[in-house]
Chain A
Protein backbone atom coordinates (compact mmCIF):
# COMPACT_ATOMS: atom_id res chain seq x y z
CA UNK A 1 0.00 0.00 0.00
CA UNK A 2 2.74 2.33 1.06
CA UNK A 3 4.76 1.30 -2.00
CA UNK A 4 1.92 2.07 -4.38
CA UNK A 5 1.41 5.47 -2.76
CA UNK A 6 5.09 6.30 -3.29
CA UNK A 7 4.85 5.05 -6.87
CA UNK A 8 1.85 7.30 -7.42
CA UNK A 9 3.75 10.33 -6.12
CA UNK A 10 6.73 9.49 -8.35
CA UNK A 11 4.44 9.02 -11.33
CA UNK A 12 2.70 12.34 -10.71
CA UNK A 13 6.04 14.11 -10.36
CA UNK A 14 7.27 12.50 -13.58
CA UNK A 15 4.04 13.55 -15.28
CA UNK A 16 4.50 17.13 -14.14
CA UNK A 17 8.12 17.14 -15.36
CA UNK A 18 6.98 15.78 -18.71
CA UNK A 19 4.26 18.39 -18.98
CA UNK A 20 6.94 21.03 -18.38
CA UNK A 21 9.03 19.72 -21.22
CA UNK A 22 6.39 19.64 -23.97
CA UNK A 23 5.38 22.60 -26.07
CA UNK A 24 1.97 24.26 -25.61
CA UNK A 25 -1.02 22.81 -27.46
CA UNK A 26 -1.19 23.10 -31.25
CA UNK A 27 -2.79 26.28 -32.62
CA UNK A 28 -6.57 26.22 -32.91
CA UNK A 29 -8.06 24.92 -36.15
CA UNK A 30 -10.05 27.66 -37.92
CA UNK A 31 -13.80 27.19 -37.96
CA UNK A 32 -15.17 25.82 -41.19
CA UNK A 33 -18.02 27.54 -42.99
CA UNK A 34 -20.97 25.53 -44.40
CA UNK A 35 -19.28 25.79 -47.81
CA UNK A 36 -16.35 23.78 -46.43
CA UNK A 37 -18.25 20.64 -45.38
CA UNK A 38 -15.82 18.56 -47.48
CA UNK A 39 -12.98 19.61 -45.14
CA UNK A 40 -14.60 17.99 -42.08
CA UNK A 41 -16.55 14.77 -41.49
CA UNK A 42 -16.28 11.74 -43.75
CA UNK A 43 -13.76 12.11 -46.59
CA UNK A 44 -15.67 12.38 -49.90
CA UNK A 45 -14.66 9.85 -52.59
CA UNK A 46 -12.20 11.30 -55.10
CA UNK A 47 -13.62 11.73 -58.61
CA UNK A 48 -11.26 10.39 -61.26
CA UNK A 49 -10.39 13.03 -63.85
CA UNK A 50 -9.28 12.44 -67.43
CA UNK A 51 -6.83 14.96 -68.85
CA UNK A 52 -6.89 15.64 -72.58
CA UNK A 53 -4.13 18.03 -73.67
CA UNK A 54 -4.51 21.19 -71.56
CA UNK A 55 -8.07 20.38 -70.61
CA UNK A 56 -10.35 18.19 -68.52
CA UNK A 57 -13.40 17.89 -70.80
CA UNK A 58 -15.67 15.94 -68.44
CA UNK A 59 -17.32 17.77 -65.50
CA UNK A 60 -16.47 16.33 -62.08
CA UNK A 61 -20.15 16.15 -61.04
CA UNK A 62 -23.51 15.25 -62.59
CA UNK A 63 -25.01 18.45 -61.23
CA UNK A 64 -24.19 21.35 -63.56
CA UNK A 65 -22.11 24.22 -62.17
CA UNK A 66 -24.08 26.93 -60.33
CA UNK A 67 -22.46 30.36 -60.85
CA UNK A 68 -24.20 31.89 -57.81
CA UNK A 69 -22.81 29.21 -55.50
CA UNK A 70 -19.45 29.44 -57.29
CA UNK A 71 -19.34 33.12 -56.45
CA UNK A 72 -19.84 32.28 -52.77
CA UNK A 73 -17.16 29.56 -52.91
CA UNK A 74 -14.63 32.01 -54.34
CA UNK A 75 -15.64 34.73 -51.87
CA UNK A 76 -15.23 32.37 -48.88
CA UNK A 77 -12.16 33.99 -47.36
CA UNK A 78 -11.55 31.32 -44.72
CA UNK A 79 -10.74 28.66 -47.32
CA UNK A 80 -7.82 28.94 -49.73
CA UNK A 81 -9.39 30.99 -52.44
CA UNK A 82 -8.57 32.94 -55.65
CA UNK A 83 -8.79 36.27 -53.78
CA UNK A 84 -5.75 35.52 -51.65
CA UNK A 85 -3.49 36.00 -54.69
CA UNK A 86 -5.67 37.36 -57.54
CA UNK A 87 -7.69 40.52 -57.87
CA UNK A 88 -11.19 39.65 -59.02
CA UNK A 89 -12.77 42.87 -60.34
CA UNK A 90 -16.13 41.07 -60.63
CA UNK A 91 -16.05 40.78 -56.82
CA UNK A 92 -14.92 44.37 -56.28
CA UNK A 93 -17.10 44.68 -53.16
CA UNK A 94 -14.81 42.26 -51.29
CA UNK A 95 -11.87 43.89 -49.48
CA UNK A 96 -8.20 42.89 -49.32
CA UNK A 97 -7.77 41.22 -52.68
CA UNK A 98 -4.30 39.82 -53.32
CA UNK A 99 -1.89 41.15 -55.96
CA UNK A 100 0.52 38.23 -56.33
CA UNK A 101 -0.94 36.75 -59.49
CA UNK A 102 -2.61 38.31 -62.57
CA UNK A 103 -6.12 39.79 -62.10
CA UNK A 104 -8.92 37.40 -63.07
CA UNK A 105 -10.40 39.37 -65.96
CA UNK A 106 -12.10 38.23 -69.15
CA UNK A 107 -11.79 34.54 -68.26
CA UNK A 108 -15.10 33.74 -69.96
CA UNK A 109 -13.84 35.23 -73.21
CA UNK A 110 -10.42 33.55 -73.10
CA UNK A 111 -11.02 30.06 -71.71
CA UNK A 112 -13.42 27.16 -72.07
CA UNK A 113 -14.84 25.27 -69.11
CA UNK A 114 -12.56 22.33 -69.95
CA UNK A 115 -9.47 24.58 -69.85
CA UNK A 116 -10.46 26.25 -66.57
CA UNK A 117 -11.19 22.82 -65.08
CA UNK A 118 -7.58 21.63 -65.50
CA UNK A 119 -6.26 24.97 -64.19
CA UNK A 120 -8.34 24.59 -61.03
CA UNK A 121 -7.80 20.84 -60.56
CA UNK A 122 -4.01 21.10 -60.89
CA UNK A 123 -2.39 24.11 -62.56
CA UNK A 124 1.02 22.49 -62.03
CA UNK A 125 0.25 20.12 -64.90
CA UNK A 126 0.42 23.20 -67.17
CA UNK A 127 3.04 25.28 -65.30
CA UNK A 128 5.08 23.01 -62.98
CA UNK A 129 6.67 25.91 -61.04
CA UNK A 130 3.44 27.76 -60.37
CA UNK A 131 2.67 28.79 -56.82
CA UNK A 132 -1.06 28.19 -57.43
CA UNK A 133 -2.39 25.35 -55.26
CA UNK A 134 -4.00 22.35 -56.94
CA UNK A 135 -7.63 22.55 -55.84
CA UNK A 136 -8.48 18.91 -56.56
CA UNK A 137 -5.49 16.79 -55.69
CA UNK A 138 -4.55 14.58 -52.74
CA UNK A 139 -1.36 12.81 -53.83
CA UNK A 140 2.27 13.96 -54.12
CA UNK A 141 2.01 16.51 -51.29
CA UNK A 142 4.45 16.88 -48.37
CA UNK A 143 3.46 16.65 -44.70
CA UNK A 144 -0.22 17.49 -45.06
CA UNK A 145 -1.87 18.05 -41.67
CA UNK A 146 -3.80 14.89 -40.70
CA UNK A 147 -7.14 16.70 -40.74
CA UNK A 148 -6.60 17.55 -44.43
CA UNK A 149 -5.04 14.23 -45.56
CA UNK A 150 -6.98 12.68 -48.43
CA UNK A 151 -9.07 15.83 -48.83
CA UNK A 152 -9.06 18.33 -51.67
CA UNK A 153 -9.08 22.12 -51.13
CA UNK A 154 -12.31 22.39 -53.15
CA UNK A 155 -14.99 19.70 -53.41
CA UNK A 156 -15.87 18.37 -56.88
CA UNK A 157 -19.01 20.51 -56.81
CA UNK A 158 -17.00 23.58 -55.73
CA UNK A 159 -14.80 23.12 -58.82
CA UNK A 160 -17.81 22.99 -61.17
CA UNK A 161 -19.55 25.92 -59.46
CA UNK A 162 -16.35 28.02 -59.46
CA UNK A 163 -15.89 27.33 -63.20
CA UNK A 164 -19.50 28.37 -63.86
CA UNK A 165 -18.87 31.67 -62.03
CA UNK A 166 -15.47 32.34 -63.62
CA UNK A 167 -17.01 31.84 -67.10
CA UNK A 168 -19.43 34.70 -66.36
CA UNK A 169 -16.43 37.08 -66.14
CA UNK A 170 -16.32 38.22 -69.76
Chain B
Protein backbone atom coordinates (compact mmCIF):
# COMPACT_ATOMS: atom_id res chain seq x y z
CA UNK B 1 0.00 0.00 0.00
CA UNK B 2 2.79 2.30 0.98
CA UNK B 3 4.80 1.29 -2.11
CA UNK B 4 1.81 2.08 -4.29
CA UNK B 5 1.42 5.52 -2.74
CA UNK B 6 5.11 6.19 -3.30
CA UNK B 7 4.75 5.08 -6.92
CA UNK B 8 1.80 7.42 -7.49
CA UNK B 9 3.70 10.24 -5.86
CA UNK B 10 6.67 9.58 -8.16
CA UNK B 11 4.32 9.63 -11.18
CA UNK B 12 2.88 12.93 -10.08
CA UNK B 13 6.37 14.37 -9.65
CA UNK B 14 7.36 13.26 -13.18
CA UNK B 15 4.17 14.79 -14.62
CA UNK B 16 4.78 18.04 -12.77
CA UNK B 17 8.37 18.17 -14.04
CA UNK B 18 7.18 17.55 -17.60
CA UNK B 19 4.57 20.28 -17.30
CA UNK B 20 7.27 22.70 -16.16
CA UNK B 21 9.11 22.09 -19.44
CA UNK B 22 6.03 22.42 -21.61
CA UNK B 23 4.93 25.47 -23.49
CA UNK B 24 1.31 24.74 -22.61
CA UNK B 25 -0.24 28.17 -23.12
CA UNK B 26 -4.00 28.60 -22.95
CA UNK B 27 -5.49 28.28 -26.43
CA UNK B 28 -6.62 31.92 -26.40
CA UNK B 29 -2.97 32.94 -26.57
CA UNK B 30 -2.70 31.50 -30.08
CA UNK B 31 -5.27 34.01 -31.42
CA UNK B 32 -4.86 37.77 -31.65
CA UNK B 33 -7.77 39.80 -33.02
CA UNK B 34 -8.86 36.98 -35.33
CA UNK B 35 -5.32 36.13 -36.41
CA UNK B 36 -4.81 32.48 -35.54
CA UNK B 37 -1.56 30.59 -35.24
CA UNK B 38 -1.40 27.25 -37.06
CA UNK B 39 -1.54 25.70 -33.57
CA UNK B 40 -5.18 26.75 -33.41
CA UNK B 41 -6.03 24.34 -36.28
CA UNK B 42 -4.02 21.35 -35.01
CA UNK B 43 -5.45 18.16 -33.59
CA UNK B 44 -4.95 17.50 -29.88
CA UNK B 45 -2.12 14.99 -30.39
CA UNK B 46 -0.03 17.37 -32.49
CA UNK B 47 -0.63 20.15 -29.97
CA UNK B 48 0.64 17.93 -27.15
CA UNK B 49 3.69 17.02 -29.22
CA UNK B 50 4.54 20.69 -29.60
CA UNK B 51 3.76 21.53 -25.99
CA UNK B 52 6.21 19.10 -24.43
CA UNK B 53 9.83 20.11 -24.97
CA UNK B 54 10.95 16.54 -24.24
CA UNK B 55 8.71 15.18 -27.03
CA UNK B 56 8.84 18.06 -29.51
CA UNK B 57 11.14 16.80 -32.31
CA UNK B 58 11.96 20.41 -33.28
CA UNK B 59 13.92 20.75 -30.03
CA UNK B 60 16.73 18.65 -31.57
CA UNK B 61 17.35 21.53 -34.00
CA UNK B 62 17.26 24.04 -31.13
CA UNK B 63 19.80 21.95 -29.18
CA UNK B 64 22.04 21.63 -32.26
CA UNK B 65 21.87 25.41 -32.67
CA UNK B 66 22.83 25.91 -29.02
CA UNK B 67 25.95 23.81 -29.54
CA UNK B 68 26.83 25.62 -32.79
CA UNK B 69 26.38 28.98 -31.06
CA UNK B 70 29.56 28.33 -29.04
CA UNK B 71 31.51 26.58 -31.84
CA UNK B 72 34.40 28.57 -33.36
CA UNK B 73 34.31 28.64 -37.17
CA UNK B 74 36.02 30.65 -39.93
CA UNK B 75 39.24 32.60 -40.25
CA UNK B 76 38.61 35.04 -37.39
CA UNK B 77 38.62 32.42 -34.64
CA UNK B 78 35.17 33.42 -33.40
CA UNK B 79 31.92 31.74 -32.53
CA UNK B 80 28.55 33.50 -32.32
CA UNK B 81 29.03 33.60 -28.55
CA UNK B 82 32.37 35.45 -28.90
CA UNK B 83 30.42 38.63 -29.67
CA UNK B 84 26.82 37.90 -28.65
CA UNK B 85 27.61 36.00 -25.44
CA UNK B 86 24.49 34.53 -23.85
CA UNK B 87 21.83 34.09 -26.52
CA UNK B 88 19.07 33.92 -23.90
CA UNK B 89 19.73 37.59 -23.24
CA UNK B 90 21.20 38.98 -26.47
CA UNK B 91 18.86 37.20 -28.90
CA UNK B 92 15.66 37.66 -26.92
CA UNK B 93 13.13 39.45 -29.13
CA UNK B 94 15.34 39.42 -32.24
CA UNK B 95 13.17 36.95 -34.17
CA UNK B 96 10.06 39.07 -33.58
CA UNK B 97 11.56 41.83 -35.78
CA UNK B 98 12.51 39.71 -38.82
CA UNK B 99 12.29 39.84 -41.78
CA UNK B 100 13.46 43.45 -41.85
CA UNK B 101 14.76 46.05 -44.30
CA UNK B 102 18.54 46.20 -44.43
CA UNK B 103 19.99 49.57 -45.49
CA UNK B 104 23.36 48.17 -46.48
CA UNK B 105 22.03 45.69 -49.03
CA UNK B 106 18.96 47.79 -49.84
CA UNK B 107 16.71 44.75 -49.50
CA UNK B 108 14.89 42.54 -47.03
CA UNK B 109 16.84 40.12 -44.85
CA UNK B 110 15.40 37.29 -42.81
CA UNK B 111 17.10 35.53 -39.90
CA UNK B 112 18.70 32.95 -42.18
CA UNK B 113 20.37 35.62 -44.31
CA UNK B 114 21.48 37.66 -41.28
CA UNK B 115 23.11 34.55 -39.79
CA UNK B 116 24.98 34.00 -43.05
CA UNK B 117 25.98 37.66 -43.34
CA UNK B 118 27.43 37.55 -39.82
CA UNK B 119 29.26 34.31 -40.59
CA UNK B 120 30.88 35.79 -43.69
CA UNK B 121 31.59 39.32 -42.43
CA UNK B 122 32.35 38.80 -38.74
CA UNK B 123 33.58 35.20 -38.54
CA UNK B 124 35.25 34.76 -41.93
CA UNK B 125 33.22 31.57 -42.28
CA UNK B 126 31.39 30.13 -45.30
CA UNK B 127 27.66 30.88 -45.57
CA UNK B 128 25.45 27.94 -44.66
CA UNK B 129 23.35 26.39 -47.44
CA UNK B 130 19.70 27.41 -47.25
CA UNK B 131 17.61 24.63 -45.68
CA UNK B 132 20.74 22.80 -44.50
CA UNK B 133 20.41 21.25 -41.01
CA UNK B 134 23.08 23.72 -39.80
CA UNK B 135 21.24 26.85 -40.93
CA UNK B 136 17.88 25.50 -39.71
CA UNK B 137 19.45 24.71 -36.32
CA UNK B 138 20.86 28.21 -35.86
CA UNK B 139 17.65 29.87 -37.07
CA UNK B 140 15.62 27.68 -34.72
CA UNK B 141 17.90 28.37 -31.75
CA UNK B 142 17.79 32.13 -32.25
CA UNK B 143 14.00 32.16 -32.85
CA UNK B 144 13.51 30.00 -29.76
CA UNK B 145 14.98 32.80 -27.62
CA UNK B 146 11.87 34.85 -28.50
CA UNK B 147 9.33 32.16 -27.65
CA UNK B 148 6.21 33.78 -26.31
CA UNK B 149 7.04 37.28 -27.59
CA UNK B 150 4.72 38.84 -30.18
CA UNK B 151 5.76 39.12 -33.85
CA UNK B 152 6.24 42.79 -34.73
CA UNK B 153 7.92 43.42 -38.10
CA UNK B 154 8.44 46.92 -39.46
CA UNK B 155 6.71 47.51 -42.79
CA UNK B 156 7.09 51.30 -42.87
CA UNK B 157 9.57 53.52 -44.74
CA UNK B 158 11.98 51.68 -47.02
CA UNK B 159 10.31 48.32 -46.15
CA UNK B 160 6.97 49.49 -47.59
CA UNK B 161 7.59 48.64 -51.28
CA UNK B 162 8.74 45.13 -50.32
CA UNK B 163 5.66 44.71 -48.18
CA UNK B 164 3.49 45.69 -51.17
CA UNK B 165 5.37 43.25 -53.38
CA UNK B 166 4.72 40.46 -50.89
CA UNK B 167 1.07 41.40 -50.63
CA UNK B 168 0.70 41.23 -54.43
CA UNK B 169 2.33 37.82 -54.47
CA UNK B 170 -0.12 36.63 -51.81
CA UNK B 171 -3.19 37.56 -53.82
CA UNK B 172 -2.01 36.43 -57.27
CA UNK B 173 -3.44 33.21 -58.70
CA UNK B 174 -0.62 30.86 -59.63
CA UNK B 175 0.21 27.70 -61.51
CA UNK B 176 -1.86 25.26 -63.54
CA UNK B 177 -4.26 24.99 -60.58
CA UNK B 178 -4.61 28.82 -60.67
CA UNK B 179 -5.21 29.48 -56.96
CA UNK B 180 -3.73 32.30 -54.82
CA UNK B 181 -2.46 32.06 -51.24
CA UNK B 182 -5.33 34.33 -50.17
CA UNK B 183 -8.07 32.06 -51.55
CA UNK B 184 -7.24 29.40 -48.99
CA UNK B 185 -5.49 31.19 -46.13
CA UNK B 186 -7.57 34.41 -46.00
CA UNK B 187 -10.94 33.17 -47.25
CA UNK B 188 -11.19 29.54 -46.12
CA UNK B 189 -9.24 28.79 -42.93
CA UNK B 190 -10.91 26.11 -40.83
CA UNK B 191 -12.41 24.38 -43.89
CA UNK B 192 -11.39 20.89 -44.97
CA UNK B 193 -9.14 20.50 -48.01
CA UNK B 194 -9.34 16.73 -48.45
CA UNK B 195 -8.58 15.52 -44.90
CA UNK B 196 -6.61 18.60 -43.87
CA UNK B 197 -7.88 21.71 -42.07
CA UNK B 198 -6.78 24.87 -43.88
CA UNK B 199 -4.84 27.23 -41.59
CA UNK B 200 -4.27 30.95 -41.97
CA UNK B 201 -0.74 30.27 -43.19
CA UNK B 202 0.88 32.03 -40.25
CA UNK B 203 4.65 31.77 -39.73
CA UNK B 204 5.03 32.63 -36.03
CA UNK B 205 6.04 29.05 -35.21
CA UNK B 206 8.77 28.81 -37.84
CA UNK B 207 11.13 27.11 -38.28
CA UNK B 208 8.60 24.34 -37.69
CA UNK B 209 8.92 20.60 -37.38
CA UNK B 210 6.70 19.35 -40.24
CA UNK B 211 5.46 15.82 -39.60
CA UNK B 212 5.01 14.86 -43.28
CA UNK B 213 8.62 15.88 -43.96
CA UNK B 214 10.09 14.44 -40.72
CA UNK B 215 12.32 17.49 -40.34
CA UNK B 216 12.55 21.04 -39.12
CA UNK B 217 11.60 23.29 -42.05
CA UNK B 218 11.86 26.96 -42.99
CA UNK B 219 9.21 29.42 -44.11
CA UNK B 220 10.68 29.47 -47.62
CA UNK B 221 10.49 25.70 -47.94
CA UNK B 222 6.80 25.99 -47.07
CA UNK B 223 6.37 28.69 -49.75
CA UNK B 224 8.06 26.39 -52.26
CA UNK B 225 5.78 23.52 -51.27
CA UNK B 226 2.63 25.66 -51.55
CA UNK B 227 3.73 26.94 -54.99
CA UNK B 228 4.48 23.50 -56.38
CA UNK B 229 1.22 22.14 -54.93
CA UNK B 230 -0.46 24.66 -57.25
CA UNK B 231 1.85 23.41 -60.02
CA UNK B 232 3.47 26.84 -60.06
CA UNK B 233 7.20 27.32 -60.62
CA UNK B 234 8.68 28.12 -57.19
CA UNK B 235 11.35 30.75 -56.50
CA UNK B 236 14.71 29.84 -54.97
CA UNK B 237 14.78 29.64 -51.17
CA UNK B 238 16.24 32.88 -49.84
CA UNK B 239 15.30 34.78 -53.03
CA UNK B 240 14.13 38.43 -52.87
CA UNK B 241 10.61 37.41 -53.98
CA UNK B 242 10.21 34.99 -51.07
CA UNK B 243 11.78 37.51 -48.65
CA UNK B 244 9.14 40.09 -49.64
CA UNK B 245 6.43 37.45 -49.21
CA UNK B 246 7.87 36.46 -45.83
CA UNK B 247 7.69 40.10 -44.71
CA UNK B 248 4.03 40.36 -45.72
CA UNK B 249 3.14 37.05 -44.08
CA UNK B 250 4.96 37.99 -40.86
CA UNK B 251 2.94 41.23 -40.76
CA UNK B 252 -0.28 39.25 -41.32
CA UNK B 253 0.58 37.42 -38.09
CA UNK B 254 1.53 40.52 -36.09
CA UNK B 255 1.03 40.03 -32.38
CA UNK B 256 1.08 36.22 -32.57
CA UNK B 257 3.62 34.71 -30.17
CA UNK B 258 6.81 33.14 -31.52
CA UNK B 259 6.39 29.38 -30.97
CA UNK B 260 9.63 28.05 -32.39
CA UNK B 261 9.93 25.15 -32.65
CA UNK B 262 6.30 24.57 -33.61
CA UNK B 263 5.02 21.17 -34.79
CA UNK B 264 2.76 21.10 -37.84
CA UNK B 265 1.21 18.41 -40.01
Contact = CB atoms under 8 A, between A and B. Distances in A.
Interface of A: 17, 20-24, 26-27, 77, 80, 83-85, 95-100, 131, 133-134, 141-146, 148, 151, 153
Given A77-B194, A84-B194, A144-B232, 17 more contacts: A23-B236, A24-B130, A24-B132, A27-B224, A98-B191, A100-B188, A100-B192, A141-B176, A142-B172, A142-B173, A142-B232, A143-B233, A144-B175, A148-B175, A151-B176, A153-B176, A153-B177
B183 interface: yes
Contact of A144 (B126, B132, B225, B233): B233
A133 B233 contact: no
7 contacts: A21-B129, A95-B195, A97-B192, A131-B183, A131-B188, A142-B175, A143-B227
A145 B130 contact: no
A21 B128 CA distance: 8
A96 B194 contact: yes
A4 to B, nearest CB: 26
A146 B232 CA distance: 9
Interface in B209-238: 224-225, 227-228, 231-234, 236-238
B131 A24 contact: yes
A144 B231 contact: yes
B185 interface: no
A36 to B, nearest CB: 12
Contacts of B198: 100
B224 to A, nearest CB: 7
B174 interface: yes
B129 A145 contact: no
B195 A96 contact: yes
A131 B182 CA distance: 10
B131 to A, nearest CB: 5
Contacts of B129: 20-24
Interface in B223-260: 224-225, 227-228, 231-234, 236-238
